[in-house]
Amino acid sequence: MGRAAPDPQSAAQIVATAPAGAWVAIAPDDLLIMDLAPAPDGAHHRPAPAGAPRRVVIQLIAEPLARPWVANVRRLAAAHWWDGTSVNRVQDNYVAQWGDATERKPLPAQLNATSAGDYTVNSAALPGAERTPGPADVYAPATFFYRGWPIGAEGQGEGTAWPVHCYGMVGVGRNVSPDAGTGAELYAVIGHAPRHLDRNNALVGRVIEGIEHLSSLPRGTVGLGFYAQAAQRVPIARIRLARELPPAEQPAFAYLSTRSASWARYAAARANRRDSFFVQPAGAVDICNLPVPIRRVR
Amino acid sequence: MGRAAPDPQSAAQIVATAPAGAWVAIAPDDLLIMDLAPAPDGAHHRPAPAGAPRRVVIQLIAEPLARPWVANVRRLAAAHWWDGTSVNRVQDNYVAQWGDATERKPLPAQLNATSAGDYTVNSAALPGAERTPGPADVYAPATFFYRGWPIGAEGQGEGTAWPVHCYGMVGVGRNVSPDAGTGAELYAVIGHAPRHLDRNNALVGRVIEGIEHLSSLPRGTVGLGFYAQAAQRVPIARIRLARELPPAEQPAFAYLSTRSASWARYAAARANRRDSFFVQPAGAVDICNLPVPIRRVR
């Protein structure tokens, strides 16, 4: 990318002017809506005044990635299992993590068993027509985007493939292996891409709106960023699949097709920024510095 | 790295047990102490109760990197120029930026002129005895650590070299080139490494303690994360070189020598994590996922 003449448009302009056909609607069933308790009192949070809603929208990852966990997440949301749980851990430059702090809340019946074998898929399960080559990478021999998701892969994109831990990605907390987590304990990446977690934790989605409600939470002060006191935990009012919301509240989003010409131009412009601000275009971009553009449709 | 037998110790254990001789004291004159106004009221900030101090410690970068700006930062601190200014911009997954929001506060006399030519140095100015090769990189043909600082470089480490934008690095805000900033407007990286800023902005240091006081601030809601209203800005009580503090308040820090055997073991362990948690060591690490260990001595 970037060998051709510089694009006259910046990456932001390319996204803003991408044709309607370059956008892919995100299925309502792939949207998870997480409402934290409204913002507490406190001048600290002036941009979100006391009582303001704190809604985080998560897009579930495309099939067949992380299939057993994604199915569990849908069941947990349908069972309203997370309602009344909390964000329990916020570790700076790492993750915000939520779930049942007591670790005693009974799980819904019929959750899938999970295992480390499903952290990866065979690349053959990701149709070539849905893939676009991604940039060179330090961690994975190959990268590509699959239906808008950043993927690392072995070989030339054959062999195993796995989603990668970029900012905003949502993963599954677990205990020591062979435990692979159920999906009841989730985390969002709020720092530099922790790529060492790739193939060590399942990734079930990404935050597409409202990540600031997680990333700007106070950091926990005991080991791994857990809150020292129960009162410091941030209450979760509810987590729902979007279709459970009243129709007027159901948001709609689209992502920029990673198969579109606009995407190719966007990726080239991110690697070779020529906005008036830049003196020295990088000539390269890492996969986590190439976020897939998402827009709110409604 | 990592071809040898796995280290029996984790990266954290290697750092915790590194011998005294592996640590290099950070000169008191290289420490900049930034005190935000004490934490405001508000249950939101329970881990930092209302009235708690919010101190951020910045280590200034090693000579001769960013020399004209570092000299200016020392002058600005000595002149108490930042006292009463504010954090004006907090952009999620990017930077927290501070300085004079009015852009009218007169600067001290005798600041250095600055220019883009000083974003890089000639590698010959960075003695080989102070360098350790760094990992493969997407952005730079070569990397190394120089006296504890992450550096990108052309060629095989000859030609030009420049510090890189990792989490916590502190850079100089500027207007459109040829403006290169004075050092009065500073930002700290609070998200995924914005490596496209390398060679586009001067880097004058890194936050070594208290970054949570910047990274957990509310995000600004207008363009580029600026606060919409003046009242939302976060007041800076003072910024001082450490030697100006009362002796009992002067902190002391050391960094793990990037020339030490402990560093080599730490870097290998970060690339091949074998803690019981990990199923699949990455076999690689990117330069910004290899933070130089810093410890507080006093």
- Counting Cβ atoms within 10 Å, is residue B7 exposed (0-12), middle (13-18) or buried (19+)? middle
State residue B7's pLDDT score.
77
How far is CA A87 from each of CA A38, A57, A181, A197, B198, rounded to the nearest angstrom?
Answer: 13, 15, 17, 20, 35
- Contact between residue A296 and residue A209 where contact means Cβ atoms under 8 Å apart: yes
Closest-CA distance, B203 to chain A, in angstroms, reads 15
Contact at CB, B93 and A195, closer than 8 angstroms: no
Pick the residue from chain A with its C-alpha nearest to B180.
Answer: A279
Count of C-beta atoms within a 10 Å radius of residue A263: 23
> Which residue numbers in chain A have pLDDT < 70?
1-5, 41-49, 157
Q: Interface pTM (ipTM) of the complex? A: 0.96
Contact at CB, B119 and A215, closer than 8 angstroms: no
Closest-CA distance, B63 to chain A, in angstroms, reads 23
Pick the residue from chain A with its C-alpha nearest to B40.
Answer: A44
Taken in order A106, A110, A115, A121, the sign of the CA dihedral is: negative
Query: What is chain B's length?
Result: 298
State residue A43's pLDDT score.
40
Count of C-beta atoms within a 10 Å radius of residue A231: 8
CA dist B155 and B77 (Å) reads: 37
Closest-CA distance, B194 to chain A, in angstroms, reads 7
Token pair 């007041």 is found at: B235
Contact at CB, B44 and A42, closer than 8 angstroms: yes
CA dist B190 and B208 (Å) reads: 13
Contact at CB, A92 and B288, closer than 8 angstroms: no
Query: What is chain A's length?
Result: 298
- DSSP states along A247-281: GGG---EEEE-TTSHHHHHHHHHHHS--STT-SS-
Closest-CA distance, A259 to chain B, in angstroms, reads 23
Pick the residue from chain B with its C-alpha nearest to A222.
Answer: B47
- CA nearest neighbour of B254 among B22, B41, B78, B54: B22
Residues of B in contact with A196 (CB under 8 A): 270, 273, 278, 281-282, 285, 289
Residues of B in contact with A277 (CB under 8 A): 176-177, 200
State residue B155's pLDDT score.
85
Contact at CB, A200 and B280, closer than 8 angstroms: yes
Closest-CA distance, A97 to chain B, in angstroms, reads 15
Residues of B in contact with A138 (CB under 8 A): 135-138, 284-286
DSSP summary character for residue B162: E
Query: Helix H segments across chain B?
Result: 11-16, 67-78, 212-215, 261-271
Please state the pTM of the whole predicted model: 0.96
Taken in order A269, A270, A272, A274, the sign of the CA dihedral is: positive
Of B44, B211, B273, the CB nearest to A44: B44
Helices and strands, counts by H and E, chain B: 4, 16
> Which residue numbers in chain B have pLDDT < 70?
1-5, 41-49, 157
DSSP summary character for residue B67: H
Residues of A in contact with B94 (CB under 8 A): none
Residues of A in contact with B221 (CB under 8 A): 47
Q: In which element (H, E) is residue A294 found?
A: strand A294-296
Q: How far apart are the first and last CA of chain A?
A: 33
- Counting Cβ atoms within 10 Å, is residue B262 exposed (0-12), middle (13-18) or buried (19+)? buried
State residue B48's pLDDT score.
62
Residues of A in contact with B114 (CB under 8 A): none
Query: Helix H segments across B39-157?
Result: 67-78
